[in-house]
Structures are given as structure tokens and as C-alpha cells.
Amino acid sequence: MYAFCAYSNNCTCTYVLGVFVLLWVLVWFYRDNLEITKVLEKHVFVTGCDSGFGHLLCKRLNKRGFRVLAGCLTEKGADDLKRATGPFLKTCILDVTSTASIQKALEWTKKEVGDKGLWGLVNNAGRSLPMGPSEWMKIKDFESTLKVNMTGVIEMTMNFFPLVKKARGRVVNVASVLGRVAANGGGYCISKFAVESFSDCLRRDIQNFGVNVCIIEPGFFKTQVTSLEPIERELHRLWNQLTPEVKESYGDKYLDKYIKIQRLIMNTICDSDLSKVTNCMEHALLAVHPRTRYSAGWDAKLLWIPLSYMPACIVDIALKLVLPKPAKSV
């Protein structure tokens, strides 16, 4: 009798727990699918719109009815985007490494949004090169990437934030799965870790003002950032600036082996469907309850994010097995 009662109690607890989990999932999906209204009255500023994620996002937001303000690095990028969209999308030339350029874009944006404020700021502009072994880098190699991916994001956000605060809108920062797992040397991983940290700090500091801060963590996608030709060109440049002693420690064949591994990785896991990333960006701008983090791509969900929760020694071993071994390694 006692055993039967214990069994019944266990079944009841399991049933109650199952119902609670089911209700939680249903409520989460319901909240996750709620969208804002009056999209036609909202302005969104996007950086890095010449190509890739930024270019596609602007076209999709334009179709949704947003008043899109696109920051492009080049006149050609701006002209191409305007030809592909409607009259509600406007462009400006923006170099996020230039304080003067940011200030000029800010004054232009103030005139465009008026008293409504800025609903969304999407910090998408970025660069990846040079990437390679840390020992091959010079300070200027780190700085060239950090200026765009880290300082550019921070300066854009701090300058445009009063407009976002007025609209009780969103700041959407594009980080990377390499802001979770430092898989190579150079400024890219460092800058993306910084974007993650800056976004977390900002979100916690302003949570009482009704402004949401969202982080997009794309996996590997086929964009200019992952194009093999410039990656290999930069690797050759880095190799050629090394001293004979450093080259000798790696061995004559190390560069070729390193490039072959880069080709294998990019050709194997790079996804051509950029909409997987822009879908996340759109949700961050349209959802009533946007998520704090968005992981885009199968490799992000199945490889990089799980790997980021592993002990550091596991990640070290995994990368050691993948990368070529130097000639004079211990």
C-alpha cells in the first residue's frame, strides 16, 4: 500500500511538472511572437549597409515599412542600396572609425527623426582582417580591426543613444560566435568579446529607461568578412613581415597548411543564407519582447555556443587538433 501511494505521488509530481513546462513553453512562444505596431512611424539606423547583412536588412526593413536610415561606407554602396529599395529608405556616407563622420551622420539623423527619436540603432559595420596567429600581428593590425568593431560600435552607440532613449527603442549590436570562443588571433575575436561585454553593461545600466539592447551572434556566413581571397592575401602579408627566426620556428610549410585549414573550414561551415541573420535582427526590432541574444546559423547553435560552455582545456585541445603543428613546437 505504501509503495502504491509513493508511486501515485511520483506520477502526480511528474504530471504537474510536465504541465508547468508545457505552459511555460506556450507562454514563451506567445510572448516571442508579439510584434510592435505603428511601424510606419519608426526610424531605424543601420551601419555597414554596402553589402552583406546590413544591405539585406535594409531591404527587408524597407519592405516592412520602417523608415530606414542606412549608413554606407562608399557612394557606390549607397547608390546600389537606393536602387534596390523605395523612397522611404535614405542613405548617408558613414565611416565608423571617424568621429567627424559619426557626428555628421548624427546631425543628419536628428533632422530625419525629429521629435520621435530613433526606434532602432543596428551596429552592423565590421571587419575581420587581419586574422591569423597572434605572434604574426603588429599593434597596427589589432588597431585596424578594433577601431571598427569595438570603438566604432561604442562611439556610435554613445552618440545616438539619446535619440534611442527618446523613442524607448532598441540597440542591436552585431557580435559573433567568435565573441564566445576565441578561435584565432588578431583583433576580430578581441573586438567581438568587447561587443558582448559592452552590450551587457549597457543593457544593465539602462534597463529602467525602457530601452532594449540585443546581441546578434552569427556563425560563419558567406560574406566579404569570410571571403577566402582577402584572408589568404592578409596571411601572406603577415608571414612576409615576420623575422627569419620566427619563420624558422613555424617551418616553411606552416603557412600553406594554415591556409588549407582555413579553406576547409570556410568551405565546410559557411552558410550562404544571410536571412538567418537578418531574421534575428528583424525580430530584435519588431518584437514586443526582444531576446537578449540571438544565435544565427547551424554552426552557432550546434558547435560554437555549446563549445563556449565547455572548460577552457577542452577548447584548447580541440583547436590544437585542428591547427597545424609548428616545426619547433614543444
Side-chain-side CA neighbours of residue 296 (13 Å)? 27
CA 269/CA 274 separation, integer angstroms: 13
What single DSSP character describes residue 221?
B
CA 84/CA 104 separation, integer angstroms: 25
Residue 100 Cα to chain centre, angstroms: 25
Q: Give the cell for residue 1.
A: 500500500
Residue 188 annotated to the active site: yes
Catalytic one among 7, 188, 250, 258? 188
Cα distances (Å, whole numbers) of residue 132 to 25, 100, 225, 269: 42, 32, 14, 18
Residue 183 · residue 224 · CB < 8 Å: no
Q: Give the cell for residue 196.
A: 558582448
End-to-end CA distance of the chain: 67
Q: Which of 277, 97, 294 is nearest to 180 (CA)?
A: 294
Strands 185-186 and 131-132: antiparallel
Q: Which of 281, 213, 287 is nearest to 55 (CA)?
A: 281
Q: Which of 230, 167, 131 is nearest to 36 (CA)?
A: 167
Helices (H) and strands (E) in the chain, counts: 14, 9
By the 10 Å C-beta count (0-12 exposed, 13-18 middle, 19+ buried), 127 is classed as buried
Instruction: Provide the annotated active-site residues.
Output: 188
